[in-house]
């Protein structure tokens, strides 16, 4: 399995993976202000692995692990800044490409190239289409064509007529008004003429009755006729007032009629102005809606393209990481196999050396055992000349019972129960023989009766000596 964690890597190398240890390693690797971030850990992992690849193999001949997979390209490598995972390219035959101790398959190289191509085709920043900009320009033109304030063509006339209505004086008809009345003057002239004529006719008729001479009667009669006409004129004075008042009312009504006509024309103009304003806002609303719709659709298409780009990028990155991981696992398996072979060969060499040392120790132990037997035999011979009572006392405990001496029976029982080993049993026999309790022949008989395996005992002693020697060697090497 690929190691992508600094903690896992340090543990696999048998090193301390604590934060303090990682911070110290980061400082040694030139990583300042280490705080344990993912980017810092990946950088440290990469440097440590590169350093382990460059270092020589250990005493056992086992090489270090191959390089680790690259970090996911989506975490920050761009098309212009990322490096190819291989030093060459896949051959036409489809064979893997080697990079150091790792082989990258054609599939991995293919996904890497596709990933690079995808990275280089990143969508540009959003730019509005011609259709969107066309609606935008039309919207701006419409906004600039906003109708101004309403200007009335009849404002002055309306003000003038309104002023004449509001400031029209109250009706009044005096004697002076009557005297200055044109119609009255016409009637007065007519009635005066008719009165003069009636007066002359009356006076003429009266003179004829008196023989052609004027008289007071004739004058009085003529004056009476004249006064009658003037009286008729005065009777019509009220008629002239009524006619003047009616004319006053008619003139006031004319002013209201004029006001109605002028305000009607002004209202018509204002209604047309409002129609233009309504048309302006309707057109503005339409263009604004069309612009928003077109831009949303246009931007939606752009975002779909961006989403597709990142989906493809993520897919290719995952596929590349997956294929690279397979190549990594394969290379790790090859490295592991190579390491195992080297380790196995090393163990074989060590085993051969141990075997040679064991055989040498075995031969030495055999010599020592033979020497001890001869030494014990000599000691037993010297002691055989002692008192018979003492000899009888020392050998009484080892009288054979049913083919076994009590001593050999005891050893046999402990051997069977696993309480002692062949080496321990042989040691006890040798110790008793050195004490002079029995001779070499007795010792051989006890060894045979108790079932002690001398070769196993000697081999156990050799192993103990070898272990002690190895511990001593290790101790002095570490010092």
Q: Where are the domains of the chain?
A: 1-55, 155-295, 384-478
Q: Check if the beta carbon of residue 393 is closer than 8 Å to that of residue 383.
A: no
- Of residues 466 and 127, the one with the higher pLDDT is 127
Rounded to whole angstroms, the Cα distance separating 386 from 397 reads 18
Q: Check if the beta carbon of residue 148 is closer than 8 Å to that of residue 276.
A: no
State percent of the chain over pLDDT 90: 27
Q: What confidence category does residue 126 fall into, taking pLDDT thresholds of 50, 70 and 90?
A: very high
Q: What confidence category does residue 385 fall into, taking pLDDT thresholds of 50, 70 and 90?
A: very low
DSSP string, 258-314: HHHHHHHHHHHHHHHHHHHHHHHHHHHHHHHHHHHHHHHHHHHHHHHHHHHHHHHHH
State the pLDDT at residue 61. 37
State percent of the chain over pLDDT 70: 73
Q: What confidence category does residue 261 fall into, taking pLDDT thresholds of 50, 70 and 90?
A: very high
Rounded to whole angstroms, the Cα distance separating 213 from 61 reads 188
- Of residues 447 and 86, the one with the higher pLDDT is 447
Q: What confidence category does residue 158 fall into, taking pLDDT thresholds of 50, 70 and 90?
A: very high
State the pLDDT at residue 50. 78
Q: What confidence category does residue 277 fall into, taking pLDDT thresholds of 50, 70 and 90?
A: very high
Q: What confidence category does residue 87 fall into, taking pLDDT thresholds of 50, 70 and 90?
A: very low
State the pLDDT at residue 408. 86
Q: Which helix (H) or strand (E) holds 104?
A: strand 102-104
Tokens of 396: 């009484």
State the pLDDT at residue 406. 85
Tokens of 166: 């509001």
- Of residues 404 and 274, the one with the higher pLDDT is 274
Q: Is the pLDDT of residue 56 over 60?
A: no
State the pLDDT at residue 78. 39
DSSP string, 175-219: HHHHHT-HHHHHHHHHHHHHHHHHHHHHHHHHHHHTTS---HHHH
Rounded to whole angstroms, the Cα distance separating 85 from 107 reads 12
Distant-in-sequence, close-in-space partners of 205: CB < 8 Å, separation ≥ 6: 221
Q: Check if the beta carbon of residue 12 is closer than 8 Å to that of residue 50.
A: no
3-state secondary structure of 66: coil
Strands 97-99 and 102-104: antiparallel
- Of residues 342 and 384, the one with the higher pLDDT is 342
Nearest to 197 by CA among 208, 186, 205: 205
State the pLDDT at residue 265. 94
State the pLDDT at residue 389. 39
Altogether, the residues listed in the chain come to a count of 479
State the pLDDT at residue 469. 54
State the pLDDT at residue 210. 60
Q: What confidence category does residue 289 fall into, taking pLDDT thresholds of 50, 70 and 90?
A: very high
Count Cβ atoms within 10 A of the Cβ of residue 396 and give its class: 0-12 exposed, 13-18 middle, 19 or more buried: exposed
State the pLDDT at residue 68. 39
> What number of helices (H) and strands (E) belong to the chain?
15, 2
Instruction: List helix spans (H) across 384-450.
Output: 388-396, 406-417, 422-434, 440-450
What's the chain's average pLDDT?
76
pLDDT in tens, 367-382: 766 766 666 656 555 5
As a dihedral over the C-alpha atoms of residue 409, residue 414, residue 416, residue 421, rounded to 10 degrees, the angle is -120
- Which of 102-111, 167-176, 297-306 is predicted least confidently? 167-176
State the pLDDT at residue 25. 92
Q: Is the pLDDT of residue 392 over 70?
A: no
Q: Which helix (H) or strand (E) holds 102?
A: strand 102-104
State the pLDDT at residue 94. 44
pLDDT in tens, 219-235: 776 677 777 777 777 77
Q: What is the DSSP letter of 18?
A: S
β-partners of residue 404 are 401
In angstroms and rounded to an integer, the radius of gyration of the C-alpha atoms of the chain is 71
Q: What is the DSSP letter of 244?
A: H
- Of residues 10 and 219, the one with the higher pLDDT is 10
pLDDT in tens, 302-348: 999 999 999 999 999 999 899 888 888 888 887 778 888 888 888 88
């Amino acid at each position: 399995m690929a190691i992508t964690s600094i903690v896992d890597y340090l543990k696999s190398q048998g090193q301390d993976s604590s934060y303090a240890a990682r911070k110290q390693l980061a400082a040694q690797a030139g990583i300042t202000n280490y705080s344990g971030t993912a980017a810092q850990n990946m950088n440290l992992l990469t440097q440590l692995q590169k350093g382990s690849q460059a270092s020589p193999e250990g005493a056992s001949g086992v090489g270090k692990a191959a390089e680790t997979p690259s970090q996911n390209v989506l975490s920050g490598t761009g098309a212009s800044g990322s490096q190819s995972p291989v030093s060459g390219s896949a051959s036409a035959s489809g064979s893997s490409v080697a990079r150091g101790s790792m082989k990258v398959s054609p599939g991995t190289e293919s996904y890497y190239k596709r990933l690079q191509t995808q990275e280089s085709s990143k969508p540009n920043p959003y730019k509005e289409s011609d259709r969107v900009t066309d609606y935008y320009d039309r919207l701006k033109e419409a906004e600039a064509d906003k109708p101004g304030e309403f200007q009335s063509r009849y404002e002055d006339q309306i003000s003038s007529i309104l002023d004449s209505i509001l400031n029209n004086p109250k009706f009044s008809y005096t004697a002076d008004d009557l005297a200055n009345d044109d119609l009255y003057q016409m009637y007065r002239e007519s009635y005066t003429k008719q009165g003069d004529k009636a007066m002359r006719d009356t006076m003429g008729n009266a003179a004829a009755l008196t023989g052609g001479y004027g008289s007071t009667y004739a004058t009085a009669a003529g004056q009476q006729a004249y006064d009658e006409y003037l009286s008729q004129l005065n009777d019509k004075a009220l008629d002239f007032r009524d006619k003047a008042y009616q004319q006053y009312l008619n003139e006031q009504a004319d002013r209201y009629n004029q006001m109605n006509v002028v305000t009607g024309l002004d209202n018509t103009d204002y209604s047309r102005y409002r129609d233009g304003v309504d048309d302006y806002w309707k057109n503005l609303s339409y263009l604004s809606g069309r612009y928003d719709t077109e831009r949303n659709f246009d931007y939606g298409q752009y975002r779909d393209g961006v989403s597709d780009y990142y989906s493809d990028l993520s897919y290719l990155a995952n596929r590349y990481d997956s294929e690279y991981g397979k190549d990594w696992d394969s290379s790790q398996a090859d490295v592991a196999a190579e390491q195992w072979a080297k380790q196995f060969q090393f163990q074989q060499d060590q085993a051969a050396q141990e075997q040679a040392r064991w055989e040498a120790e075995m031969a030495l132990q055999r010599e020592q055992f033979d020497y001890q037997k001869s030494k014990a035999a000599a000691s037993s011979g010297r002691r055989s000349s002692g008192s018979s009572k003492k000899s009888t006392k020392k050998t009484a405990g080892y009288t054979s019972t049913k083919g076994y001496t009590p001593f050999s029976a005891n050893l046999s029982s402990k051997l069977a129960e696993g309480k002692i080993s062949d080496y321990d049993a042989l040691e006890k026999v040798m110790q008793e023989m050195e004490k002079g309790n029995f001779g070499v022949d007795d010792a051989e008989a006890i060894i045979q009766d108790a079932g002690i395996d001398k070769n196993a005992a000697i081999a156990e002693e050799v192993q103990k000596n070898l272990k002690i020697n190895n511990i001593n060697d290790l101790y002095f090497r570490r010092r």
